[in-house]
A and B are shown apart, each in its own frame.
Chain A
Amino acid sequence: MIQTINLQKLFATEEVETTALNGISMDVKDGEFVAIMGPSGCGKSTLLNILGLLDNPTDGEYNFYGTAVARMTERQRAQLRKGSIGFVFQSFNLIDELTVYENVELPLLYLKTPADERKQRVEAALERMAIMHRRNHFPQQLSGGQQQRTAIARAVVAKPKLILADEPTGNLDSKNGEEVMKLLGELNDEGTTIIMVTHSPYDAGFAHRIVNLFDGKVVTENFHV
């Protein structure tokens, strides 16, 4: 269960000061699938980064599964992040020098998972994302859809409680996008909490709830059935 109270995020550059988030309070329950929508520049990615413990808010509170994290150091956040959050990005962010298998294995290596268990879990994740046959390929040898499936495999391999996805279908055609959304839906059905940023109303349809942002504020929340 995660909860934010009045999150503020200010970006101060030499010339201008941008308020990216201006008092965001929201709750996400365990097992929920939340979509965040809004016009470009309204603060979606900023919010997701803070929820994902990649960044700190300028002000406000953030309760991450019972821990107040708003003022933690990068090091502490990294510790907390490890194994509990999976990330999926619009631009995949796979490591070019590693194969599909090795990319997926990476989070388990950082978790110091024993070798045999690691192998089993990586293979399961690859199987699940239907990318097993490409396990020894390098990212550049894959299509966009395959790359994103690899990225999702990597996000789920450590069995995180929470998956954060920032426009996961943004670089994909509709067929591959559909596939990715189905996979996220399945993961959610199995109990993983998902927070996804998207511009696509169709994709948002997979979520239980849509949070609409505008100028750093929550404007509306729509609930699906």
Chain B
Amino acid sequence: MLTNYLKITFRGLAKNKAFSFINIVGLAAGLSCCMLICLYVYDELSYDTHHPDIAQLYQVGTVFVNPDGEEKTAATPYRLADALQQEYPEIGSTTRLVGLFGDDKTLLRANPVGNIANSKPAVFYESKGYLADPTFFSFFRYDFVEGNPKQALANPHAIVLSETMARNLFGNQSALNRTIHIESNTNGVGDYTVTGVFRPGTVPSHIDARFFLSYAGGGLSQYINGTTGMVSNNMFFTYLKLKPSTDARKLEAKLPAFVEKYMRKDLAVAGRDKKQFLTAVRDIHLHTDLTHNVTPNGSLTYLYVLGSIALFTLLIACINFMNLSTARSGKRAAEVGVRKVLGAEQASLVRQFLSEALLFSGFAFVLALGLVWLMTPVFEAVSGKTMHFSLGQRLGLVATFFGISLATGLLAGSYPAFYLSSVRPITVLKGGVGRAGGSLAAVSLRKGLVVMQFTLSVMLMIALVVIARQMNYLRSADLGFASAHQLIIPLRSETAKTSYPALKQALVSTAQVRSVGASAYYPGIFNPEDARLYGEKQVAADAKVTRMNRVDATYLHTMGIEPVAGRLFSVQFPGDTSNRVILNEKAVKELGYPSAQAAIGKPAIANRDSENYRSIIVGVVKDFHFEDLHVPITPFGFTLNLNGNYNYVVVNLKPGDMQSTLQSLGSVWQRFNYAEPFEYSFLDAEFQKNYEAENRLSTLVSYFTFIAILISCLGLFGLVSFNVEQRVKEIGVRKVLGATVGNVVMLLSKDFLKLVLMAVVLASPLAWWVMHRWLQGFAYKIDIEWWYFALAGLLAVGIALLTVSFQSVKAALMDPVKSLRAE
């Protein structure tokens, strides 16, 4: 019997290739969407589940009680851990972790073994470095391929690094006991011995380290040793391992007393207040909402939303499957009738239809697996995750997905199965089938679903247009400085910083270079330095936060930042180096000067340590975007600092062959910084990095739009097929009576166009509202124009017409005699 079902299914599949293909693709689209989301959710849920004593691990958090509200963070002072350990016997051990927060990247150089000094040592910059206590690896599981985790950080000058880094530094040789020279803005310069190499785990962790240094041996610990108390230096992450069967809530309840005992006095002096709390390590990623932690936490809400989307897409795919299947119910009902007359029981027919649906979902499963495999790189790029799974996990996931697929098949097949198998045999003998499955409620439900799907598609299309326009605006807006052809070279090490004047000389005399400048910061990256400035006619209370950048005499020229009054800094005015300032227009306005011109020669005053510092305004520059377009331009100032501790060199290049230019710049760099790699980036690209979230969003939205359109079209296709099936006879009769193909196509398309137009009408205000809110995130933005809606609407109508025409043209071209006889 089963072979008989399969025969029918396969032959039906082959005979209705388009139908089968669409049905399978529809299910596969829903399934693969669901699978990808499942992968994401699975990854999010598995954070920090692999540490052996996870149930006893807690992170200490701090609540800063400020006059304007409380701030919850994971940052704690260094001395907290020891004091807690001393006070509470239920704490088995503690460990501390602190990121190299001052380094965007840390320089690492492999020291040669013995004196093979002639070969150039491997050297590179690496991010995500951490300082940790010796106990660290007894808390958190890292799979060591070399070294012993228990002893790894016992030595104050030890480094534990990832396998990839070990490869980069030492090639295929063993890294153990080799030494690495490290230069860090945060922790100073020093040599560290490799005591461990770990293989990045397959389980994600809230600690994303690429390498660990012993805390005790570096510059940060020296700095901390010079401080006292537990009020400031809140930069450490403190972890506790509680003794088994300790109730963490009880311990947490004792912490207010701890604050009283150890911190109250100091807090009172500083005029501050804080509280401490505990977070289970396994809850860190999804169940906390702190302003600062080792890595930003995930969001449970987001997972719920994603989970709902997964279920929803799957459900829609099922409904579309049902729609398409019941669309053929006329034909199938005839078969069912005959089978019943020949002795088939309802149960066996239900089995037949279910096995058919299962077969479809089986195909869809295979296709979906393929799609997921293809889409994983894109998905990783969009989600910002890299997913590693062990073989066991993979098998488990595939089995789960197979289960989901089968369940989907059963769900999708159940309606056609029970509906069709209940056809009474008598109806087929009367030729009364074909009107089956058309109760008014069912039809309105189908229509409603199609409207809903299209509403979503149109919303996504509108969103895509708005995002694309805004992105285009972000790329092309006038930033107020020259961002093209600007090469940025970071000066990270002491050597590099001191080499700057000579480096500058050499760079300027390179043929492809127009000009060279240097500064502490450049537009688009965080500019942490600021001063509170007020004007001549103002008082200290009027002071406005003004971001300050230290520059050399040619920086402003190189950057193309233009003066609107006064002049730019110049070596011709030696006095510029002290108590002279250049402000932007916004700052001048905030300082209360009536115009840029009026501000020249006037003071900008700062109060520091109850003293007045007056700087004379020598120039006013046009407002420029020192931050990205999310935020409005705020007061900004430059000071000239000739032997300044610059962080970046800006090189303005002549247009031309970039490859050879970079080569000559690289060789200039090597002359002064032999031991450091030549790193560079382009100002425009760096500035655009601020829009990474938007870029991701736009990729994500475009994929979702594609899937939504695909699924909506399938839904519509199902509905049209169903409708055509119902009206075969009507079409035949109309054609016999003289209707043209055009008439018939029109007749069939009209109803569906109405649905799509309804969707456009519903989607437009919704999309406007959502995108309007999204644009509020930008201080500088496009206006949403009417034609975005028109474009999305037209596209939707076009796509819908195309979908409808597949079936309607076929129906219209059908030989009327055939369609009449088919009744």
A interface with B by C-beta (< 8 Å): 45, 49, 54-55, 74-75, 78-79, 81-83, 87, 89, 91, 93-98, 102, 106-107, 109-111, 154, 158, 166
Interface residues of B in 1-52 (CB under 8 A from A): 1, 4, 7-8, 11-12, 15
> Could you tell me if A97 and B11 are in contact, using CB atoms closer than 8 angstroms?
yes
Q: In the complex, how many angstroms separate the beta carbon of B74 from the nearest chain A beta carbon? A: 65
> Could you tell me if B7 and A106 are in contact, using CB atoms closer than 8 angstroms?
no
> Could you tell me if B338 and A75 are in contact, using CB atoms closer than 8 angstroms?
no
B interface with A by C-beta (< 8 Å): 1, 4, 7-8, 11-12, 15, 334-335, 337-346, 348, 424-426, 428-431
> Could you tell me if B429 and A49 are in contact, using CB atoms closer than 8 angstroms?
yes
The B interface, classified by DSSP as helix, strand, loop or mixed, is helix
Q: Which residue of A lies closest to B346 (CB)?
A: A75
> Could you tell me if A97 and B1 are in contact, using CB atoms closer than 8 angstroms?
no
Q: Which 4 A-B pairs have the closest CB atoms?
A: A110-B343, A82-B343, A97-B11, A107-B342
Measured between alpha carbons, how far is A81 from B342 in the docked complex, in Å? 8
Measured between alpha carbons, how far is A7 from B252 in the docked complex, in Å? 86
Measured between alpha carbons, how far is A89 from B431 in the docked complex, in Å? 12
> Could you tell me if B340 and A78 are in contact, using CB atoms closer than 8 angstroms?
yes
29 residue pairs bridging A and B, Cβ less than 8 Å apart: A45-B430, A54-B429, A55-B426, A75-B345, A78-B340, A81-B341, A82-B343, A87-B341, A89-B429, A91-B431, A93-B334, A93-B337, A93-B341, A95-B8, A95-B338, A95-B339, A96-B335, A97-B12, A98-B4, A98-B7, A98-B8, A102-B4, A102-B7, A106-B339, A106-B342, A107-B343, A110-B343, A111-B343, A158-B343
Measured between alpha carbons, how far is A107 from B344 in the docked complex, in Å? 8
Q: From the candidates A83, A89, A97, A106, name the one contacting B15 in the complex (CB within 8 A).
A: A97
Q: In the complex, how many angstroms separate the beta carbon of B640 from the nearest chain A beta carbon? A: 87
Q: From the candidates A74, A75, A97, name the one contacting B7 in the complex (CB within 8 A).
A: A97
Known: A45-B429, A95-B8, A106-B4. 17 other contacts (CB 8 A): A54-B425, A55-B426, A75-B345, A75-B346, A79-B345, A83-B343, A89-B429, A93-B341, A93-B428, A94-B338, A95-B335, A95-B339, A97-B15, A98-B11, A109-B4, A110-B348, A166-B429
Measured between alpha carbons, how far is A98 from B346 in the docked complex, in Å? 20
> Could you tell me if B341 and A49 are in contact, using CB atoms closer than 8 angstroms?
no
Chain A residues lying within 8 Å of B348, measured Cβ to Cβ, are: 110
Measured between alpha carbons, how far is A158 from B430 in the docked complex, in Å? 24
Q: From the candidates A74, A91, A154, name the one contacting B342 in the complex (CB within 8 A).
A: A154
Q: In the complex, how many angstroms separate the beta carbon of A105 from the nearest chain B beta carbon? A: 8
Chain B residues lying within 8 Å of A82, measured Cβ to Cβ, are: 343
Q: Which residue of A lies closest to B15 (CB)?
A: A97
Chain B residues lying within 8 Å of A54, measured Cβ to Cβ, are: 341, 425-426, 429
Q: In the complex, how many angstroms separate the beta carbon of B716 from the nearest chain A beta carbon? A: 27
Chain B residues lying within 8 Å of A75, measured Cβ to Cβ, are: 345-346
Chain B residues lying within 8 Å of A102, measured Cβ to Cβ, are: 4, 7
> Could you tell me if A81 and B8 are in contact, using CB atoms closer than 8 angstroms?
no
Chain B residues lying within 8 Å of A95, measured Cβ to Cβ, are: 8, 335, 338-339
Chain B residues lying within 8 Å of A110, measured Cβ to Cβ, are: 339, 342-345, 348
Chain B residues lying within 8 Å of A83, measured Cβ to Cβ, are: 343
Measured between alpha carbons, how far is A74 from B337 in the docked complex, in Å? 13
Chain B residues lying within 8 Å of A106, measured Cβ to Cβ, are: 4, 339, 342
Measured between alpha carbons, how far is A154 from B7 in the docked complex, in Å? 18
Chain B residues lying within 8 Å of A98, measured Cβ to Cβ, are: 4, 7-8, 11
Given A54-B341, A75-B345, A107-B343, also A97-B428 (CB < 8 A): no
Measured between alpha carbons, how far is A94 from B342 in the docked complex, in Å? 11
Q: Which residue of B lies closest to A55 (CB)?
A: B426
Q: In the complex, how many angstroms separate the beta carbon of B613 from the nearest chain A beta carbon? A: 92
Q: Which residue of A lies closest to B334 (CB)?
A: A93
Measured between alpha carbons, how far is A45 from B426 in the docked complex, in Å? 10
